[in-house]
Amino acid sequence: MTDTRSDSPATLLIVPGLRDHVAQHWQTLLAQRRPDAVSLAPLGRDNLALAPRIDALEAAVAAAPGPVVLVAHSGGCVLVAHWAARSTRVHRVRGALLATPPSFDRPLPAGYPTLEGLDAAGWLPVPRAPLPFRTLVAASRNDALGEFGAVTALAQDWGSALEDLGAVGHLNPASGYGPWPMALPLIGRLLR
């Protein structure tokens, strides 16, 4: 991706959610196809601590040779909001694609972190202030982790454009997604 405001290339910075490494996840596949992509290492659900994730995102933005485009999924979207509220490097972000953010302020299905666990790890409250860079929230109509109306309200609070993806579940391998071809066109639209 080229920064249209300068000749500096933009790094695609992949921000995973609370999962472990998943070889067939659309973010993993996108990073493998793009030489301009850098991925944050997933820390998994066994290590819910938010602070190390914020530190890793801050370090990755600082290490990028130029501007970055954040490509976040699930809990990674909430991580981006927490990071943006604390970082002095938000000016380096050209935009962020925030795919299927969860509703961390509501109980999640069985097998996912509890509200108490998320709170203890620093995730709550979820930041709701407008994000200081362009954002596009890609929302699913049938995501068990993020009810469409709640995600739409979150996108509005963040000042994000909203892309209604239809019924795509949580946009992960369990929902039938390995590759997600729509990611690159949405990034392109975000940056126009």
Cβ(17)–Cβ(73) below 8 Å: yes
Token reading at 166: 């239809």
- The mean of the pLDDT values for the chain is 93
Strand residues in 106-176 grouped as ranges (E) = 135-139, 161-164
Backbone angles phi, psi at 9, to 5 degrees: -70, 150
Query: What are the pLDDT digits (tens) for 162-172?
Result: 999 999 999 99
User: Residue 161 carries which side chain, given as an amino acid letter?
Assistant: A
Region 107-130: mean pLDDT is 96
What is the spatial distance between Cα 90 and Cα 31, in angstroms, rounded to a whole number?
22
CA 140 to chain centroid: 14
Residue 5 pLDDT greater than 80, yes or no: no
What is the spatial distance between Cα 57 and Cα 4, in angstroms, rounded to a whole number?
23
3-class secondary structure, 12: strand
What is the spatial distance between Cα 125 and Cα 158, in angstroms, rounded to a whole number?
14
Residue 136 pLDDT greater than 50, yes or no: yes
In the block, tokens 């202030």 appear at: 129
Domains along the chain with CATH numbers? 11-191 (3.40.50.1820)
Which pLDDT belongs to residue 175? 94
Helix (H) or strand (E) holding 98: strand 93-99
Residue 8 pLDDT greater than 80, yes or no: no
Q: Which of 38, 26, 73, 76 is nearest to 54 (CA)?
A: 76
